[in-house]
Amino acid sequence: MIRINLLGRARPKAQRQAVPLEATLQVVFFLAAMVVALGVLYYNWHSTNEQITEVRLHIQKQSGEKARLEKLKMQVDEFERQKGVLQQRINIIEQLQRNRTGGQELLNALADTVTRTDTLWLTSLNRQGNGLTIVGTAGSINAVANFITQLKHSGYFDQIEIKESTQDTKNSDIQTFAFTLTAQFALPQDRSADSDPAPAPASTPARKG
């Protein structure tokens, strides 16, 4: 709408009210404080976000390492199980080998000691590993003692212990003694290298019947 000034007078200009300086500074400080606060909040948020990202990456890395270690532990456990099975088989084989090794030498050594001892006979021999249980009959206690001495001198037997020696009363015409003794058998090369060599077996003169 067009207004026409019929009086020809100039319209007075509207007077603007001056804004106090203190109020302006308060507004400026408030806005500046808001900007700083927002900046600090943004910095803290950004820093926290980066830390969270680093922690997540570390957790992922540790989880991967844990999985790898668990897999490695399973492999180690399986290896130990297989090792135990193999060791058990090796022990059985070694035990069988020890029981078999020296069989001929054992018989020869016993036969040699028996032939060097008068009036003595062996009735049974039981071997478990290197342990021996020898049962026999002798014409006297001295014959049993001489047999033990021959076993020691042979170099094949040690830890010889007599378990039983009793006189046989079934036949009063002939005096005999039943005996049982135990010993450990080992080949001479299996004994420790620093052990003293066994003395040569002493020959016993044959008795004349």
137: in domain: yes
How confident is the model at residue 95, as a pLDDT?
A: 64
How confident is the model at residue 29, as a pLDDT?
A: 82
Q: pTM of the full predicted structure? A: 0.45
Q: Based on the domain organization, do 90 and 130 belong to the same domain?
A: no
How confident is the model at residue 101, as a pLDDT?
A: 57
Q: Based on the domain organization, do 135 and 79 belong to the same domain?
A: no
3: in domain: no
How confident is the model at residue 198, as a pLDDT?
A: 46
Look up tokens 């399973």; give the residue: 74
How confident is the model at residue 147, as a pLDDT?
A: 93
Report how far residue 125's alpha carbon sits from residue 136's, in angstroms, rounded to the nearest whole number: 9
How confident is the model at residue 2, as a pLDDT?
A: 57
How confident is the model at residue 13, as a pLDDT?
A: 56
Query: Which has the closest alpha carbon to 204: 142, 122, 156, 146?
Result: 146
Residue type, 126: N
Report how far residue 39's alpha carbon sits from residue 197's, in angstroms, rounded to the nearest whole number: 95
Running along the chain, 209 residues long, what does each successive block of 10 average in pLDDT?
Answer: 56 56 78 86 87 89 88 89 83 66 79 88 88 91 92 90 83 82 81 47 41
Q: Which sign does the torsion angle of CA 189, 193, 198, 200 carry? A: positive
How confident is the model at residue 183, as a pLDDT?
A: 94
Q: Based on the domain organization, do 80 and 130 belong to the same domain?
A: no
Computed on alpha carbons and rounded to an integer, the radius of gyration of the chain in Å comes to 54
Q: Based on the domain organization, do 89 and 116 belong to the same domain?
A: no
Domain ranges, residue 184: 112-189
SS3 at position 141: helix
- Of 36, 71, 100, the residue at which a domain comes to its end is 100
5: in domain: no
- Of 100, 131, 160, the residue at which a domain comes to its end is 100
132: in domain: yes
